[in-house]
Structures are given as structure tokens and as C-alpha cells.
Structure 1
Amino acid sequence: MPRGYVALVLHAHLPYVRDTEDDFSLAEKWYHEAVTETYIPLINICQRLNRDRVPYRITISLSPPLVTMMADSLVQEHYRRYLERLRELAAREVWRTRNDPRFHLVARMYQDLFENTARTYQTYGGNLINAFRELQDSGKVELITCAATHGYLPLIGLQREVVRAQVEVAVNNHRRLFGRPPAGLWLPECAYNPGDDAILRDYGLKYFFLDAHGLLYATPRPRYSIFAPVYTPAGVAAFGRDLESSEQVWSAQEGYPGDFDYREFYRDIGYDLDFEYIKPYIHPSGLRLDTGLKYYRITGKSGYKEPYVPEWASFKAHTHAGNFLFNREQQINYLATYMDRPPLIICPYDAELFGHWWFEGPQWLESLFRQVAGLDPQPFSFITPSEYLERFPVNQPATPCMSSWGNNGYNEVWLEDSNHWIYRHLHHAAAEMIRLANQHPTAGGILLRALNQAARELLVAQSSDWAFIMKTGTMVEYAVSRTKKHLLNFWELTRGINKSDLDPAKVQALEEANNIFPDINYRIFASR
């Protein structure tokens, strides 16, 4: 038996964005960047590890809005056009920098990256669901889900029907796309509200994740701290995030991503190069944007930046992977002296950290798996939560406390002066949706379509992303607009339903614009 285990968990999520009118949408660009810099590199890493028979394990949470966008033909086409522009820009950059050795090597690096990205995208016909399903079927990758639209459950769950709807849609959507139900669920923002575990259990979910204090302040206190799961009163396993390993990877100040040899995220040719040259690759309005081509390394804490050297950055990624390995080995050796079972280190991160925010993150991840596999004996084994529960089915019962992984550990990020106004509207709309679902146990025709669309509009309005954006102060107008837009759509539909005066053309327009969860059934909001 291994001396200890490490569970790497990546949470992949983006808000639902689908622009039917503009294939150069600023909001859709979030998705385009993440596919290029995070999701496809992650797929390629796992494929190489499978090819080389490296014994790795990783758990990936794919949120329902994200996988809905991956499976959408319009979003796929928009990404294809985005990637074509990127490939064209990279080719032009290779030519432009041909006489400047400081930047030419970096331009060639980007050209190779984008060409590899295009090959992977084309291999799966633009549908990355097929790629992730293939990885799932390899047995090395465990795919789990998240609440339907990443709703912040402790705040939107005033009515229990809302939490149930968020979970049921997520589980059904995951089963439809990946051919099997998820074993676990990533609570949005790791936000746990006691009692929600009973709903997870009702849908066959076996585990979820908490921030460390959610487990440390459980009742009774866990015997193994955060280094083994507990069973909630509903019998669902709660795994706690390890703080030490999180800080090493998350922190730009104290962690690996802040190393001066790594690529500087905030310096992009979209702002640096001549406007006429870069104009076809930024926004048609002329608004300068990140292109993804960044030629400088972090260098230091001042505004002065030196050219990026890929070889130096790759060496640092390999070195930092070795450091992470060493630290986990020492941590496990220490814990093992106090535990009568192998300690478990839970390392959960936002997937977008790897590649998008920390360009060398995918290299770090692959190097970590390869370095551990190359040691004999191995200092620890990688494991998924499902595998751990199979090996250790007996765990301490405890009730975790209400918590999140947001600033200060509770609700303040999603409930403060900038965003508190949304909840009275969400609760009011949810009450109406529940009433309609109970009033219409069976519906057909245009009524059925309107009820289903009302459910979609409410779910998207409940996304925690909008409140988060309002708090952080980035694209606030967009977040406010999306919240109001979906609530207004919801109330327009419900007025038509209540007056038996539905306009089929308007219902169809909303169905085409916001087509998330094509197989939704409004009865998810009915009282049980």
C-alpha cells in the first residue's frame, strides 16, 4: 500500500455565453482563450501520458455551462474562426520577427502551439466532449460535474427546489453527454450549506469538495483533519482542500506562477504593436484586446520586462514540479506518523489557471506526473476520490460547516454592496417557477416549450459568475445586463403562461438565443 495519496482536481468552468449575432463577441472570447490555452493542452497532456503508459490519475470537473458550449455547433464554428485568425497572426509574426532572434523563437513557439491546437480540434470534429469522453473511458481521468449554472447554492437556495433543480439538471446533462452519471459534484465556489448533501445523495452523488475550514470546523472535529474525508449526515463524502499545496500553485506572490522566468500575462502584442498591423486580430470596433501572443517574461516586480525564453520557462516548470513532488512527499511522511491510514492530500484548482493564467502550468502538470512515475519506489500515488472511497469505505461521520473558498471563507464575495440586489429578484422568480411547475404537472405544445425556456432563463440568471464579476469590478455592466436580461426573459414568458397568451415567435427566439440544456424538463422545479 502507498505511504500516501495525492488527488489532483481541476475545476473547469466558464459562464454560459453564446452570441448568435457576433462571432467576435468579447464574452465568447473567454471561452476561445480557455479552449486554446487550457482545455486542449489538458487533453493533449492526458493523451501523451496514456500513449506513454504513465500511471497517472486526475479528476476534472466540467461544469454544465462549459460542456453545453463545447457541444454547441454555433460555438464550435465561432471558435474555429477564432483559431483561424490566431493561426494567421502567428504565421505573420514568424515572418515579422524573422530578423529579431529575441522574439522569433517565441513566435515559432506560438505557431507550433496553435497548429497543434488546430489538429486536436479537427481530430474531434470541433466537439471536445468526444475528447474528454475518450479520456474518461481510458480509466485515468475521472469526470465529475458542477451545479447546473454554477449557482451559489447557499444564497440562491432559499427554496430547496432550487438546489434540487441545479443538481438534477447537472447530473442529467452529464449523463447525456458522457454516457454515465457523475460520481461527484464540485460545489460552485466550494460553497456548502448543511442539508444540501441530502440532495446530492438523492441523485446518486458520492462526494464533493470543501475548503479546509469547512471540514476543520465540522461537528464533531474530524480525527484526521483534512487528510481523509468525512461522511455527512446524508452519507456523502466531503473532501477538504489542502492549504499548503494550494498556496504553492495558486499564489502569484509566493507560489510557482510568479517566477520571473515565466511568461508575463499582462503584456500582449494586441497592445504593443502598430494599430494597422494588429487591427484584423483585435475587435472590429478597434478596441485593443489580448491576442494570446505575449513575448515577455515576468522579469521582476517593476514595469520593465525582458524577452521570454521558452527553454528557461520549461526548465523552471520541471524544477517546480520536482519541488511540489518533494513537498508532498515530506508532508505525507510527516502525516503518516500520526495516522493509522495513508494520508490523502486534496489539491483542487481552477483548470483555467493551467495554461491561461499560468502559461507553463500544463508543462508543470505533465512533468509532475512523469517525475512521480519515474521514481522507484514512488513517494505517493495519485488517486481519484472514487478510488479512495473504494479502498477506504469506512470514514468518520461529521457535519461540515457552511463555508466557501471565497475571500474570508464564507459568503461575502457573492453577497455585498455591489451584488446583494440580485437575490430578492432570484428568489421571487424561483418562487414563481416553483408555482408554475406545481400548477402544470403535464404540459404540451407551446406551453411546454415556454415553461422549459422559463426554467433555462432562471437557471442562467442564477449563475454565481454574475455576482462575482460585479464584486471584482471587471465587465460589471455585462454581468448586470446578463442578470437583468435573463430575469426579464423569464418574466415575459411567465406573463404569457399565466395569461394563456404565448407568442410562438417570441418563444422560439428565446429558445434559439439561450438554448442551454436542450433536454430540460421544467418539472425539475416541482415540489417533492
Structure 2
Amino acid sequence: MKGKFLLVLHAHLPYIRHPNFDDFMEEHWLFEAINETYIPLLKVFDSLDKKNIDFKLTLSITPPLMEMLVSKNLNKKFLNYMHNLIDLSKKEIEKTKTEDPRKHKMAKYYNKLFNENLKLYLDKFNQNILQGFKEFQEKGYIEMVTCNGTHGFLPTMIEYPAAIRAQIKTGINTYKKYFNEAPNGIWLAECGYFKGLDKYLSEENLKYFFVDSHAFWYSEIPARYNVYRPIITPNNIFAFARDPESSEQIWSADIGYPGDSRYRDFYRDIGFDREYSYIKPYIDKSGIRSNTGIKYYKITDKTLNSNEKDYYDIDESMQAVVQHAKDFVNKKTIQIENMQNFEEEPIIVAPFDAELFGHWWYEGPMFLEKLFEEISKSNLLSTSIPTEIIKSSKKIQILEPAPSTWGKNGYNEVWINDSNDWIYPYLNEMIEKMIKYAKSKSNISKIEERTLNQMARELLLAQSSDWAFIMSTNTTVEYAKNRFQTHVKRFFELEEMIKNKTINEETLSKYEWLDKIFKNMDFRIYRNNEFAI
């Protein structure tokens, strides 16, 4: 029996847009993702298409990321970012002439690559990455799915049906806006699931969603085929569960492919290596050293200090890519062989953050290209997408998935712990106020409606799971705290204006400009606070 491999890439970044600054360090997260992940993925898809390799994958692009990818302000800044990077790579070609030949080789490689990516962005994609993905969806290679609103962590909203509906509806509306059709599936932020959430998905006519392995492992009724067949929930929504073996083989810090000694080291960057006077124009405008994306060293040995690393060679890393793609397909084939007693074809679901491929694991997009090439040669394995599996399925187990996430230990602890639990009383109060205004406000002026709509945006932005995640992982904590507190402050400032009937249009316009997301937001989205039946 042939098995199916479902690759799922989840592309997400929090909404970071600072139009009041010419350059803002955290905006570079988006620019790096475009240059290192999204454009390389599109190049891989184009290459496979030209080779007539029939590949399939599922891609979720979150609403905040969609909004950032079409932002004129951010597109302009991205062009500046790329021109700056190209200028630096030119200087590196000259500078490395007297250094190790391997550095000089990579400097020329980077310069050619950056120019090629910029040309594609301008000429082929017309500064619209979404359009690039849409074209491959129309060709039948990709199945696009949406995500809830601002990647809000839904298990924390279980007592507020209106907040859950607002997140889901916003995700669907944004998808429709950019893809001109309703999505079939949804990626729930952090794969956060609780009992009864499927009712809300059913209300919006969604057909499927994804869960972590724990959702099947710890359900009250055992999943007959473990995580290797989808189930259907009591409310007729299909659920696909993550294969832990695939995750470990690629994502594991200990045995995952990205840790191979031949691959590029993520942390050793010329933004930290070069003399300050030389690199200053190309790092953060505050003068703080930061990554440039030009890296000359390979992992070498994970036990070595950064300054003990050996030089990276792109050709050597491609040898590793080919080996790992073959090894991965071989492991998937063995899995399929071990499931020949299934009544229907086994399904291996492999979901990953899209940014793993290219940004964190530089060779990741090349790996995917070789992976699809190897799968196309297999007699036991082929790629697929959820709607194809649903259509071909004859028998489906009815099952209520267990509460779960794809975070550490499979539950909620990453997003609710002593580093971030202080945010939820604020969010709950904001939700309650939005429900109150959505139910009570009917005949209102245009400026009142604008104010309430902006309050809804501030609430949604404050709900982003990224802020709690960053606090939990102790990375850019000050930025996450500041962003959360800023949205809370703006919400309550606007609410005071509504309450006292003293709306300051200048302040309102400023917040609409700063937090320019979900143009067609309607605060009445919070009106229905009844539990789904």
C-alpha cells in the first residue's frame, strides 16, 4: 500500500510595522524571512515545476504576515534593506580577496544571490510575494490555508466565545481578501486545541485543521491508527496530527539534519565579526551589532566555540542536502512499510515553521527541492494535501481530540507561565469591553465606529501569541512587553474617549496609521458571545 506525505509549512511573523521610523530592527525579521525563506521557497517551486515534478504541500500564511507582505511602507523598507545588503556584499568581494579563498567564494555567491532575489522580487513577483504563492496554488501544487486572526492563543479565550469567533472570522476574512475565495482549512495558532473548538470551526464551514500528536495520543477514545490517519471530530471537521518522527528527524537539536557539521552556522555573522567602523552602516541604526545575513562559517562541531568554527562551503553543504533528502525518504518509506496492515493508506503529516527552511536552516529550501525529487522516484510514497485525503477517505474514525499544542510538552505551558501570565487579566478585560460595546452600540456616528474598530484592532494585536512566547523563551523580552503594553494603553485610551464622548480625531488617526491592519474591521464581530452548540 502506498502512503502519503503531507508537508505543512506554517509561515508566521507578528505584525511589526513602524512607519514612524525610517528603520526599525524588529522589522528586519520580515526582510530576512522574505530574502531567506519566502523567495527561496518560490524559487524551489518554480524549479520543480520546470522539471515536471508533481509535488504537493500545504502552506499557511497568517493574516498579520499577509498584511505586512502587501504593506507599501514595509515593501519600500525591504528594497532599502536589499540594496544595503547588495552594497555590503560588493564590499565583501573586495575585502575577502586577501582572506581565505573560501570566504571570497562565498562573498561572490552572496552578491549574486542577493541581486537575483531582488530582481525576482521586482520583476517576477512585482513586490507581491502573496501573488507568487497564489500562482502555485492555481497550478495545483500548493493548498493554502488560513490561520486565526493575529495568531492569538485560543485556549486562553475559552470563556469568551466572541473572542474566539473574532480571531477565526478575521483569519477567514483576510484570506478571502487576498486569495478571492474561502479557505478549506485553518492552522490554529500554536496548534492550540481545546474540547469544543471544532464547533467554532464548523460555524465557518472550515473542513480541516491540524493538531499535535498529543491530541490523538491522549484522546478519550484511542486513535485507531495513531497519528497516521486523519480523524473527524464530533462537529464534522477533519483533524490531521503531527508525525513525531518527521519532526525529530528535521527539527531535533540533537539529531536533526540542520545540525550537520557541513551546514552553515546561523550565529557567526559578519555583523559581529567585522571591525565596527566598517560594518556600522550595515547594522542596526542604533549602532547595536546585528546579523547581516552574510555568514562565512559552518557548524563544524556543535561543541566548538563560535571563534573555532571552520569556513563554510556551499558545494560541500549541497552534498549533505542530497544525502539527507535520500535518508529522509528512506525513513518515510520504512514507516509506510511498517503500516501495511492499515485498511486505508497511511498518512505522514510533517508540519514545520516555514522560516526554518532558509532562515534558521540555510540549506532548508534546497533540502525540500531534493526531497520532492526523491519522493517522485518512490514506489511507496507520494505527496498530497488534506483535501485530496478527505476526498479519497472511505472510513473515518470519529474522535474528540485532546487539549494540546505543539509547544513544549504538548500543552499550554509555553504561553501560560510565571513569565507571561500577567498579560491575561488585561486581555480578558479588553474582551469584555469589546463584547459590551458590540452588543450595546447600534446608532453611532462614523467617528465612534472608527474608534471602536480601532479598539478591536488593538485587542487583536495584543492577543498575538508571539508576545507571550517571547517572554517565555527570554529572547527580545523588552520589545514583546512594550508591544503588548502599547496596544493595551491605546485600547483603554480610545475606550475613555468613547465613554466620555470626547473622541480626539487626531489621536485616533495616528493609531489607525500606526496599527494599520485589517482595513475592513467591524467591531460588531464581537457581538455573538454565545457558546457554540
Give the TM-score of the pair, scaled to structure 2.
0.97
Compare 131-140 and 359-368 and name the one that shifted more.
131-140
Match of 1:69 in 2: 68
Give secondary structure in 1 for the equivalent of 2:338. Answer: helix
* Deviation for aligned residue 1:442: 5.1
- In 2, the alpha carbon distance for the partners of 1:241 and 1:317 equals 23
AA partner of residue 348 (structure 1): P
Give CA deviations for 1:403-437 in whole Å, capped at 9, x if unaligned.
11111111111111110000011001100001101
- 1:387 counterpart letter in structure 2: E
For 1:37 and 1:8, how far apart are their aligned partners in 2?
19
Q: Which amino acid aligns with 2:437?
A: L
- Report whether the alignment pairs 1:321 with 2:328: no
Deviation at 1:126, TM superposition (A): 1.4
Residue in 2 that maps onto 1:118: 118
Pairwise mapping of residues 71-470 of structure 1 onto structure 2 (< 5 A)?
71-100=70-99, 101-123=101-123, 124-300=125-301, 301-303=303-305, 304-336=308-340, 338-373=341-376, 375=377, 378-392=379-393, 394-441=395-442, 443-470=444-471
Which amino acid letter does the alignment assign opposite residue 179 of structure 2? F
Distance 2:426 2:346 in 1: 45
Letter in structure 2 aligned against 1:440: K
- Cα distance, 1:395 vs structure 2: 1.0
The one-letter code matched in structure 2 to 1:38 is T
Q: Which has the larger displacement, 444-453 or 319-328? A: 444-453
Deviations 1:320-361 (A, max 9, x none): 00000000011001112x211110000000001000110000
TM-superposed CA distance for 1:137, in Å, is 1.0
The Cα shift of 1:444 comes to 4.3
- What CA distance in whole angstroms lies between the structure 1 residues aligned with 2:424 and 2:395? 39
CA deviations 1:175-203 (Å, max 9, x no partner) are 11011111111111111011111111111
Determine the structure 1 residue equivalent to 2:48.
Answer: 49
Cα distance between partner residues in 2 of 1:487 and 1:113: 42
SS state of the match for residue 52, structure 2? coil
Structure 1 regions of 5+ residues with no counterpart? none
Letter in 2 for 1:45: V
SS in 1 for 2:9: strand
- Cα deviations across residues 107-149 of structure 1 (Å, max 9, x unaligned)? 1121122112101210222121211111211111111111100
Whole-Å separation in 2 of the counterparts to 1:35 and 1:480: 25
Question: Which has the larger displacement, 322-331 or 116-125?
Answer: 116-125
2:20, 2:514 within 8 Å by CA — same for their partners in 1? no
Q: Which residue of 1 aligns with 2:9?
A: 10
Residue type of the alignment partner of 2:80? R
Q: Secondary structure of the residue that 1:80 maps to in structure 2?
A: helix
* Aligned partners of 1:158 and 1:427 also within 8 Å: no
Q: Secondary structure at the match of 1:345?
A: strand
Aligned residues: 524
Q: Distance in 1 between matches of 2:386 and 2:231?
A: 12
- 8 Å contact 1:441–1:523 — kept in the other structure? no
Distance 1:21 1:393, change over 3 A: farther
- Deviation digits for residues 200-257 of structure 1, max 9, x if unmatched? 1111211111110111212311111110111111111111100011100001321100
Greater shift, 101-110 or 340-349, is seen at 101-110
Q: What amino acid is aligned across from residue 187 of structure 2 in structure 1?
A: W
The answer (yes or no) to whether the contact 1:156–1:423 under 8 Å persists in 2 is: no
Equivalent residue letter for 1:314: M
- Give identity over the alignment, percent: 41
Deviation per CA, 1:350-406: give whole Å up to 9, x if none. Answer: 001000110000000001111222x2x532110001111011154110101101111
Amino acid at match of 1:352: E
Q: Classify 1:367/1:23 alpha carbon distance in 2 versus 1 (closer, same or farther; 3 Å).
A: farther
Structure 2 gap ranges (5+)? none
The CA deviation at 1:275 is 0.8
Native 8 Å contact 1:283 1:289 kept in 2: yes
Instruction: Give the letter aligned to residue 304 of structure 2.
Output: S
Letter paired with 1:302? L
Q: Which residue identity is paired with 2:77?
A: H
| Aligned residue identity for 1:113 | L
The worse-fitting range, judged by mean Cα deviation, of 98-107 and 481-490 is: 98-107
Partner letter of residue 247 of structure 2? Answer: S
SS of 1:285's equivalent? coil
The ranges of structure 1 where at least 4 consecutive aligned residues each deviate by more than 2 angstroms after the TM superposition are 441-444
Amino acid at match of 2:112: D
CA–CA distance in 2 between the matches of 1:436 and 1:498? 10
Q: Deviations over 1:85-105 (max 9, x none)?
A: 011111111121124312111
1:469-520, Cα deviation, whole Å (9 max, x unpaired): 0111111111111111101111111111122211111111110000111111
Letter in 2 for 1:116: E
